[in-house]
Amino acid sequence: MRILFMGTPDFARMNLQSLYEAGENIVGVVATPDKPKGRGLVLTPCEVKKYALEVGLPVYQPTTLKDGAFLDTLKEIDPELIVVVAYGKILPQYVLDYPKYGCINGHASILPEYRGAAPIQRAIIDGKAETGVSIQRMDIGLDTGDVIHVEKVDIDVNDNFESVHDKLAAASSKALLTTVSLLRDGKATYTKQGDIFTYAEKITKDDCYIDFNDTALNVHNRIRGLSPIPLAFTKTKEGKLLKIVKAHLSERNDNGQVGEVVHLDSSIHVRCADGVIALDIVVPEGKGRMNAKDLINGRKIAVKDILG
């Protein structure tokens, strides 16, 4: 099949690479326009475009798909299947209707759970033990299409956003290859999602704030769900920002106020509603990433300090 791939970040790049290396007929790649980055605001291509250029695939970067803006180009490319992974733009009906085999999308959840922008982070924050990748036949709704294939992935208790992201990228690559094969052989089945679903809202600054009035497990899940980016945070007794890269559930059960530093060793042990969370790797305001021990040795934190 003549496949047009649409995607932007590294997650999508890994899927494009899988299809290309499997020998699928990629006739074009659509990526978002280059964006200015760094102090010099240098126009920088996304990961999908970088890979496409490396292997010699034609790249298209429309500023909009609305009002038929991409139709002439679409006719020139003439794809039989469009594969969409984290492209970042809503596909209008004329694009959805064009290819013979439709448009398929790899979404990082087990649909209809966690439709929307932040399915990986939300699953970890919610303490889920399992997630997955759903390949859906796209329709005009947001992640509402019929599901063709699902690959499930375990979330371990110490997984963070980065590790689950990489597991899902690998699972998505596998799921896409399976789905393309099913479509080509005429064996694809389509399962409707139904009316019961959950939605994964985009992560905001409010989501990153650590509330030690919550359980230690929930605090731990929030920290790992937001690591290594954008990072959960609290504040020191001086009101300085303290971002948390890594933590673990402490075996200690010291009494104290919620948010109180109850013990210091190689970690900073902080009282939560029902137990203690140990902060292992932190980013103090104006500083780089460091082990909690270095912050302790610098006398920047002490037992009985109240965080938050």
Judge if 143 and 195 occupy the same domain: yes
**Number of alpha carbons in the 13 Å side-chain half-sphere of residue 38:** 6
Judge if 8 and 82 occupy the same domain: yes
Q: Enumerate residues 6+ apart whose C-beta is below 8 A from 104.
A: 81, 82, 83, 84, 135, 136, 137, 138, 148, 176, 179, 183
**Quick one: CA torsion of 12, 17, 20, 26, rounded to 10 degrees?**
30
Q: pLDDT at residue 41 above 90?
A: no
Can you give the CATH number for the domain in which 221 is found?
3.10.25.10
Helices (H) and strands (E) in the chain, counts: 9, 17
The whole domain housing 274 covers 205-297
Judge if 78 and 165 occupy the same domain: yes
Q: Cα-flanking dihedrals φ and ψ of residue 256, to 5°?
A: 165, 175
Structural tokens at position 263:
């013990």
- Rounded to whole angstroms, the Cα distance separating 1 from 25 reads 6
Residue 91: left if φ>0, alpha if ψ -120 to 50, beta else—which one? beta
Q: pLDDT at residue 107 above 90?
A: yes
Over residues 218-224, mean pLDDT: 98
Judge if 43 and 142 occupy the same domain: yes
Instruction: Give the residue from 153, 180, 200 where a domain finishes.
Output: 200
**What are the beta bridge partners of residue 276?**
271
Judge if 20 and 145 occupy the same domain: yes
Number of domains in the chain: 2
Does 304 map to a domain? no
Judge if 168 and 210 occupy the same domain: no
Per-residue pLDDT of 44-70, as tens digits, reads 999 999 999 999 999 999 999 999 999
- Sign, CA dihedral 82-84-87-88, equals positive
Task: Say what the pLDDT of residue 37 is.
Answer: 87
Judge if 183 and 255 occupy the same domain: no
Judge if 224 and 173 occupy the same domain: no
pLDDT over 90 percentage in the chain = 95
Can you give the CATH number for the domain in which 75 is found?
3.40.50.170
Over residues 198-211, mean pLDDT: 97
Per-residue pLDDT of 128-176, as tens digits, reads 999 999 999 999 999 999 999 999 999 999 999 999 999 999 999 999 9
Task: Say what the pLDDT of residue 39 is.
Answer: 79
Other CB atoms within 10 Å distance of the CB of residue 98: 20
Quote the pTM value: 0.93
Does 79 map to a domain? yes
Q: What is the mean pLDDT of the chain?
A: 96
Other CB atoms within 10 Å distance of the CB of residue 143: 22
Judge if 182 and 38 occupy the same domain: yes
Instruction: Give the residue from 148, 175, 200 where a domain finishes.
Output: 200
Per-residue pLDDT of 75-91, as tens digits, reads 999 999 999 999 988 99
> DSSP class of residue 29?
E
Does 8 map to a domain? yes
Task: Say what the pLDDT of residue 264 is.
Answer: 97
Does 190 map to a domain? yes
Does 109 map to a domain? yes
Task: Say what the pLDDT of residue 299 is.
Answer: 86
Q: Residue 183: which pLDDT band, with cuts at 50, 70 and 90?
A: very high
- Rounded to whole angstroms, the Cα distance separating 169 from 109 reads 11
Structural tokens at position 12:
């999508």
Beta strands in 174-286 (DSSP E): 199-200, 232-235, 241-249, 261-264, 268-271, 276-284
Contact yes or no for 271/258 (Cβ under 8 A):
yes
Does 280 map to a domain? yes
Judge if 120 and 219 occupy the same domain: no
- Rounded to whole angstroms, the Cα distance separating 142 from 147 reads 13
Query: Could you please report the per-residue DSSP string of 184-212?
Result: HTT----B---S---EEPPP-HHHHB--T
Judge if 187 and 227 occupy the same domain: no
Judge if 240 and 163 occupy the same domain: no
- Rounded to whole angstroms, the Cα distance separating 253 from 266 reads 17
Instruction: Give the residue from 174, 200, 226 where a domain finishes.
Output: 200
Contact yes or no for 168/142 (Cβ under 8 A):
no
Length in residues, the chain: 308
Q: pLDDT at residue 206 above 90?
A: yes
Q: pLDDT at residue 300 above 90?
A: no
Contact yes or no for 159/168 (Cβ under 8 A):
no
Does 16 map to a domain? yes
- Rounded to whole angstroms, the Cα distance separating 305 from 163 reads 32
Does 189 map to a domain? yes
Other CB atoms within 10 Å distance of the CB of residue 48: 30
